[in-house]
Every structure is written in structure tokens, then in C-alpha cells.
């Protein structure tokens, strides 16, 4: 009887521990963009979201993620991440990031869109490069994301 309970407990433990909603690391140079299918290589412009069930979707550019969000329902997404332009390879919360569209900073898909974890850093780059600053709300409006 104890063996049966132990087996059932182990099965439930494995089931619950295998469904993580944590983001996976992007493997630059080998992961492909969900939207455009290009290989993700640019560590300053990549993006990612994770559904509430733990499914990962990775993108080579922030604009690819925003274009993808236009085609889906976003209420089941638990995490939105974007590369921090000022800290290549580091991801930051997309909902709190500051965005800059500047023709002085090229992005993989040509939208000139970059994200910054620090509003101060975004404003500093804006002063040097020009363009326009956006919040998560306003960048989604620009891309007509629901």
C-alpha cells in the first residue's frame, strides 16, 4: 500500500515540476524566430514570450514579436521579454521597458526598434540618435496589438 502511494506521489510530482512557465535562454545562432523563421543572432534586438502553460516563443526582433501578437490572443501569455539594447544578451521585462525607434540604430527586420531596461539609458541614446520614445502601451498601439 505504501508503495502505491509513493508511486502516485512521484507521478504527480513529476507532472507538476515539468510544466515550468519560466523563460528559456535564447540560443543565439541556432534558435529560429517564430514569426519570420530567421535564425536569431542579434543579441540587442531579440524578444520572447511564454504562455501560462509554459510554451516558449522566441523572435529575432521586437517587431516580429509585436507583429505576432497582432495575430493571437495575448491573455494567456504570462511573460513578455525583450533584449536590453544597452546590455546585449540580457533580457528585460517588455512591459516595463522603454522603446526607441531611431533610424540611427538598425534592427534585424528594419523597424529600427530597440528596447531599454532603463528609461534613463533610453533617453541618453535618444538624445544622441534621435527618433521617438515609446512605452509598452504606446508601442503596442503603434503595432495595433490587442
Q: Give domain status of residue 93, yes or no.
A: yes
Report yes or no on 11 lying in a domain: no
Residue 104 belongs to some domain of the structure: yes
Is 14 within a domain?
A: no
The pLDDT > 70 percentage for the chain reads 86
Domain count, the chain: 1
- The CA-atom distances, in angstroms, between 104 and each of 66, 107, 112 are 21, 10, 8
**Residue 27 domain-assigned?**
yes
Q: Global pTM?
A: 0.83
Which one is predicted more confidently, 71 or 45? 45
Higher-confidence residue: 72 or 3? 72
Instruction: Please tell me the distance from the alpha carbon of residue 132 to that of residue 111, in angstroms, as a whole number.
Output: 12
Q: Is the per-residue pLDDT at 12 higher than 50? A: no
pLDDT number for residue 22: 86
Give per-residue pLDDT as tens, 102-121.
Answer: 999 999 999 999 999 999 99
Residue 78 resides in a domain: yes
By the 10 Å C-beta count (0-12 exposed, 13-18 middle, 19+ buried), 23 is classed as: middle
Task: Examine residue 119 and state whether it is found in any structural domain, yes or no.
Answer: yes
Determine, yes or no, domain membership for 73.
Answer: yes
Q: Return the pLDDT at 2.
A: 56
Q: Lowest-pLDDT range, 71-80, 85-94, 133-142?
A: 71-80
Structural domain of 114? 21-142
pLDDT at 6 over 70: no
Amino acid at each position: 500500500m505504501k508503495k502505491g502511494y509513493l508511486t502516485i506521489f512521484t507521478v504527480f510530482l513529476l507532472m507538476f515540476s515539468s510544466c515550468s512557465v519560466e523563460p528559456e535562454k535564447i540560443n543565439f545562432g541556432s534558435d529560429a524566430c517564430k514569426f519570420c523563421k530567421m535564425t536569431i543572432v542579434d543579441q540587442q534586438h531579440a524578444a520572447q514570450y511564454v504562455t501560462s502553460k509554459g510554451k516558449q516563443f522566441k523572435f529575432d526582433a521586437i517587431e516580429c514579436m509585436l507583429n505576432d501578437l497582432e495575430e493571437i490572443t495575448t491573455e494567456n501569455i504570462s511573460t513578455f521579454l525583450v533584449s536590453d539594447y544597452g546590455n546585449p544578451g540580457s533580457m528585460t521585462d517588455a512591459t516595463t521597458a522603454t522603446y526607441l525607434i531611431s533610424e540611427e540604430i538598425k534592427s534585424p527586420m528594419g523597424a529600427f526598434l530597440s528596447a531599454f531596461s532603463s528609461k534613463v539609458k533610453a533617453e541618453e541614446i535618444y538624445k544622441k540618435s534621435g527618433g521617438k520614445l515609446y512605452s509598452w502601451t504606446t508601442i503596442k498601439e503603434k503595432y495595433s496589438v490587442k
